[in-house]
C-alpha cells in the first residue's frame, strides 16, 4: 500500500497555509461526528437494559429515546458542515494550484507544447488536479474518518470483552485484505472493458465525422460490418467486467454475513454463561453492522489514493519542467521602428545534438524597412527560420540579431511584442470575435477592430453575424471558411504595432480574388516595417526587395530580387522562366 501523503503535502502545503483555521475546525467537526456516531448505540443499550428491568420509569426511557434523536440530528449537522468546509478548503487550494500550473505551462517553450495535445493538457491541468482535490476530500473525510470510526468501534468492543475485540480486529484485517484482493483480481477486466468501449466510441465518432466519405464511396456496408464486429467482440468483455463488479458486491455480502453470524454466535455463548446483558448484545450487533460501511469504503478509497499517486507525480513533473529559453536578468531593449534582421551562421536542429540539422550555416542581413521573400520547397526550413526569430526555439549555433540586439538578450515579452507573425496554422478559439482578435486585451477599442476588419474586407462578414463582435466563434474556427479564418489571423497582426512582420504562407488558403482584395491592406501593414514573406507561390513575393532561397536547410541564394531576376544563372531566374507560376515545386 503506497499512499503518497508526503508528496501530496509538499505540493499543497503552500496552498493550504491560508486555510489553517478552517482545517482545525474541520478536524474538530470530524471527531465530533465520530463520537456522536459511537455514542448512539450506547444509548440504545441503556434503553433496552432499562426497559427489561422492572421499576424503571417510562420517563427515563422516553428521555433516552429523545437523547438518541438529538444525537442523530447533531451528527447530521456535523457531517453537513464538515463536508461543506472541506469542499471549500479543497476548492480554494486546488484552484490556486490549477491557475499556477497553467501559468507555468503556458510559459514553457514550443519543444514542450509540440509534444502535448490540448486534450492532454486538459487532463494534466484539470484532470490531475481534480484527482488531487478528490485525494484531499477522500483522505480527510473518508479515509481518516473511516479509520477513526473503525478504531473507535474496536476500542469499544475491547471494553466489552477482550476476546470479542480481538476477534473483531482479526475480522477487520481479513476483510480489508480479502476485498482488496478481489478488487485486484477483477481490475484487469475493467481496464479491458473500458478500453474496448473507448475504441468503440472512437470508431463511432470517426465514422460520424466521415459520413460524406462513406456515402459517396458506397461504403455504408463496411461501416455496419465493422460496427457489428465490434459489438460481437464487446459482449464477452462486458460480461466479464460486469461479473467482476458483481463479485465485489457479492464478496461484501459474504464477508459481512460471516462477521454478523460469528458475532451473534459469540454473543449467544456469552449469554449462556450469563456474562452479558441483552442490551450489550444489541450494542455489539449494531457496532458490527456499523463496521460494514467504512470497511466497504476503505477498499475503494485506497484504490483512489493510489491513483492519485500518478497524478501527484505528473503534476510535480510539470512544475519541474523548465523552459529551455533562458531569460536574461537584465534584458536589453529592442529599438523602436523598423527592425533590421541579421542571421550569423545560424544552425539548428529539433531534438538532440545529432538529430538532422534543419538549418545549416544561415547567414544574411536584412536592412530595416526591407521586405524579404523567402522561398524553398516544403521542408527546406522556411518555417523553422521564422520560429527561431520569435524564439519559439533557440538557435543551435550562431546568433540572430534584431535591430542590432541579440534576441537572447531581449526579454521574450518585448521580442514577441515587436514581431507579428501570421502563419498557415490559424489558431482561433471558442470565444467572441472580439476576444479572438484582441486575445483578451481590453485596451483595444472596438472602433479599431471595425477599422481593421473593414480594411480586410471582412465588414460584410461581420454584419452577417448575429451579435457582431460578441458573436461566439466555435472552437478551432469551425463555421468559418478557411479563408475567413485566415483573414482573422491577419487582423490580429494589424492590431499590433510591430517592427518586423512575418507572413508564413499566410495567404495559402485564400483564392486569388480574395488575395488581390487584401493586397492594399497588406501594403499598409508593411509600410515602414521590415517584413519576411514566406511563400510557395512566386506571385506572393512580388513585393519583396530581397530574395532568400533555401534548399534542404542551406542558403541556395540570397540577394536583391531585381538583381537575381536579371541574372540568368540564378535559381530565381530559372524559376521565373520555367513558368512555375504557382508553386515552387
Partner 1 sequence: MNAKEMSTLQSMWRLIRYRPILYTANAILWAGVHLFPLIPGLLIQQFFDSLTGQASWSLNASSLAVLLMVTAVARIMNIYGGALTDTIHRFHMGALLRWNMLQWILRQPAAAAIPCSPGEAVTQFRDDSSQAEDAISWTLDFIGKVLFAAAAIFILLRVNVQITCFVFLPIVLVISVTQIASKRLQSYRATSRDATGKVTGMVGEMFGSVQAIQLAGAEERFIHRLRTLNNQRKQAALKDRLFSSLLDSVFSNIVNVGTGLILLLGAASMQRSELTVGDFALFVYYLAFVTDFTSFFGRFLSTLQQTSVSFKRMHTLLQGAGADQLVEHNPLYLRNEFPEHLYPQHFPENTEAPFSSLSVRGLGYRYSDTNRGIANISFELQRGSFTVVTGRIGSGKTTLLRSVLGLLPMQAGEIHWNGSLVKDPVSFFVPPRSAYTSQVPNLFSESLLTNILLGLPEDRERQENAIHTAVLDQDIPMLEHGLDTMIGQKGVKLSGGQAQRTAAARMFIREPELLVFDDLSSALDVTTEKLLWERVEQTPHAACLIVSHRKAALQRADHIIVMKDGYIEAQGTLADVLSQSKEMQLLWEDEHTSACSE
Rg (alpha carbons) of the chain, rounded to whole number:
36
* Cβ nearer to partner 1, comparing 317 with 441: 441
**Residue 188 cell numbers, joined:** 484487469
* Cβ nearer to partner 1, comparing 5 with 520: 520
* Cβ nearer to partner 1, comparing 193 with 357: 193
Question: C-beta of 221: minimal distance to partner 1 in Å?
Answer: 3
Length in residues, the chain:
585
- In contact, 366 and 546? CB cutoff 8 Å: yes
Q: Identify the bridge partners of residue 501 per DSSP, sorted by sequence position.
A: 420, 531
Question: C-beta of 228: minimal distance to partner 1 in Å?
Answer: 5
Q: Identify the bridge partners of residue 557 per DSSP, sorted by sequence position.
A: 549
Calpha distance 69→77 (Å, rounded): 13
**Residue 481 cell numbers, joined:** 471558411
* Cβ nearer to partner 1, comparing 25 with 576: 576
Question: C-beta of 6: minimal distance to partner 1 in Å?
Answer: 26
> Could you identify the residue written with the cell 472541506?
86
Question: C-beta of 534: minimal distance to partner 1 in Å?
Answer: 15
Contacts by 123-131, CB closer than 8 A, 24 or more apart: 124/314, 124/315, 124/318, 125/98, 125/101, 126/98, 127/311, 128/311, 128/314, 128/315, 129/94, 129/97, 129/98, 129/101, 129/311, 129/315, 130/94, 131/307, 131/308, 131/311
* Cβ nearer to partner 1, comparing 87 with 406: 87
CA–CA distance from 264 to each of 29, 169, 280, 281 (Å)?
33, 16, 11, 8
* Cβ nearer to partner 1, comparing 77 with 187: 77
* Cβ nearer to partner 1, comparing 164 with 360: 164
Question: C-beta of 345: minimal distance to partner 1 in Å?
Answer: 26
* Cβ nearer to partner 1, comparing 23 with 397: 23
* Cβ nearer to partner 1, comparing 303 with 417: 417
Helix H or strand E segment including 364: strand 359-366
Calpha distance 311→308 (Å, rounded): 5
Q: Which residues contact 347 (CB under 8 A, 6 or more apart)?
A: 357, 359, 360, 361, 362, 395, 396, 397, 398
Calpha distance 270→284 (Å, rounded): 12
* Cβ nearer to partner 1, comparing 17 with 225: 225
CA–CA distance from 509 to each of 219, 261, 372, 422, 491 (Å)?
30, 77, 21, 12, 15
Distance, CA of 12 to chain centre: 18
* Cβ nearer to partner 1, comparing 4 with 373: 373
Question: C-beta of 320: minimal distance to partner 1 in Å?
Answer: 18
Question: C-beta of 397: minimal distance to partner 1 in Å?
Answer: 24
CB atoms under 10 Å from CB of 222, counted, come to 12
> Could you identify the residue written with the cell 550569423?
344
Question: C-beta of 300: minimal distance to partner 1 in Å?
Answer: 17
Question: C-beta of 47: minimal distance to partner 1 in Å?
Answer: 6
Question: C-beta of 438: minimal distance to partner 1 in Å?
Answer: 9
Instruction: Supply angle C-alpha 366, 425, 523, rounded to 5.
Output: 45
Question: C-beta of 361: minimal distance to partner 1 in Å?
Answer: 26
Amino acid at each position: 500500500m503506497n499512499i503518497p501523503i508526503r508528496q501530496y503535502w509538499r505540493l499543497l502545503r503552500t496552498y493550504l497555509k491560508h486555510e489553517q483555521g478552517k482545517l482545525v475546525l474541520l478536524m474538530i467537526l470530524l471527531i465530533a461526528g465520530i463520537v456522536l456516531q459511537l455514542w448512539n448505540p450506547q444509548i440504545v443499550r441503556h434503553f433496552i437494559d432499562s426497559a427489561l428491568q422492572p421499576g424503571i420509569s417510562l420517563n427515563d426511557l422516553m428521555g433516552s429515546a429523545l437523547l438518541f434523536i438529538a444525537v442523530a440530528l447533531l451528527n447530521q449537522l456535523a457531517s453537513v458542515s464538515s463536508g461543506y468546509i472541506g469542499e471549500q478548503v479543497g476548492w480554494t487550494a486546488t484552484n490556486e494550484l490549477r491557475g499556477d500550473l497553467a501559468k507555468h505551462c503556458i510559459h514553457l517553450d514550443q519543444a514542450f507544447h509540440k509534444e502535448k495535445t490540448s486534450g492532454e493538457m486538459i487532463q494534466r491541468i484539470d484532470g490531475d488536479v481534480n484527482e488531487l482535490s478528490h485525494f484531499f476530500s477522500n483522505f480527510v473525510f473518508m479515509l481518516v474518518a473511516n479509520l477513526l470510526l473503525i478504531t473507535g468501534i474496536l476500542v469499544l468492543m475491547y471494553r466489552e470483552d477482550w476476546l470479542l475485540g480481538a476477534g473483531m480486529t482479526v475480522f477487520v484485517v481479513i476483510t480489508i485484505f480479502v476485498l482488496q484482493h478481489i478488487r485486484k483480481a477483477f481490475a484487469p477486466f475493467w481496464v479491458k472493458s473500458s478500453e474496448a468501449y473507448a475504441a468503440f466510441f472512437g470508431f463511432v465518432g470517426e465514422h460520424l465525422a466521415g459520413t460524406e466519405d462513406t456515402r459517396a464511396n458506397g461504403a455504408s456496408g463496411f461501416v455496419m460490418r465493422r460496427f457489428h464486429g465490434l459489438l460481437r467482440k464487446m459482449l464477452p468483455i462486458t460480461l466479464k467486467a460486469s461479473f467482476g463488479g458483481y463479485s465485489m458486491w457479492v464478496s461484501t455480502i459474504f464477508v459481512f454475513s460471516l462477521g454478523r453470524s460469528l458475532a451473534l454466535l459469540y454473543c449467544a455463548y456469552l449469554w449462556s454463561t450469563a456474562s452479558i446483558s441483552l442490551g450489550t448484545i444489541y450494542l455489539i450487533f449494531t457496532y458490527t453492522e456499523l463496521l460494514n460501511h467504512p470497511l466497504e469504503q476503505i477498499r475503494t478509497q485506497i484504490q483512489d489514493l493510489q491513483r492519485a499517486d500518478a497524478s501527484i507525480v505528473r503534476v510535480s513533473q510539470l512544475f519541474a519542467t523548465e523552459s529551455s529559453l533562458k531569460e536574461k536578468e537584465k534584458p536589453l531593449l529592442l529599438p523602436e521602428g523598423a527592425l533590421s534582421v541579421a542571421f550569423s551562421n545560424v544552425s539548428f536542429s529539433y531534438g538532440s545534438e545529432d538529430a538532422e540539422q534543419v538549418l545549416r550555416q544561415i547567414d544574411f542581413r536584412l536592412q530595416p524597412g526591407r521586405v524579404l521573400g523567402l522561398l524553398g520547397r516544403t521542408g527546406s526550413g522556411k518555417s523553422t527560420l521564422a520560429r527561431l526569430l520569435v524564439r519559439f526555439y533557440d538557435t543551435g549555433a550562431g546568433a540572430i540579431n534584431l535591430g542590432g540586439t541579440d534576441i537572447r538578450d531581449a526579454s521574450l515579452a518585448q521580442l514577441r511584442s515587436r514581431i507579428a507573425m501570421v502563419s498557415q496554422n490559424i489558431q482561433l478559439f471558442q470565444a467572441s470575435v472580439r476576444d479572438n482578435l484582441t486575445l483578451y486585451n481590453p485596451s483595444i477599442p472596438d472602433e479599431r477592430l471595425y477599422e481593421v476588419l473593414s480594411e480586410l474586407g471582412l465588414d460584410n462578414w461581420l454584419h452577417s453575424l448575429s451579435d457582431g463582435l460578441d458573436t461566439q466563434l466555435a472552437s478551432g474556427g469551425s463555421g468559418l471558411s478557411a479563408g475567413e479564418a485566415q483573414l482573422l489571423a491577419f487582423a490580429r497582426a494589424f492590431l499590433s504595432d510591430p517592427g518586423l512582420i512575418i507572413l508564413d504562407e499566410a495567404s495559402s488558403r485564400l483564392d486569388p480574388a480574395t488575395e488581390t482584395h487584401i493586397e492594399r491592406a497588406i501594403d499598409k501593414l508593411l509600410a515602414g516595417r521590415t517584413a519576411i514573406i514566406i511563400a510557395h507561390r512566386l506571385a506572393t513575393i512580388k513585393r519583396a526587395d530581397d530574395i532568400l532561397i533555401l534548399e534542404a536547410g542551406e542558403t541556395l541564394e540570397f540577394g536583391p530580387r531585381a538583381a537575381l531576376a536579371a541574372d540568368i544563372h540564378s535559381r530565381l531566374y530559372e524559376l521565373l522562366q520555367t513558368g512555375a507560376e504557382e508553386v515552387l515545386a
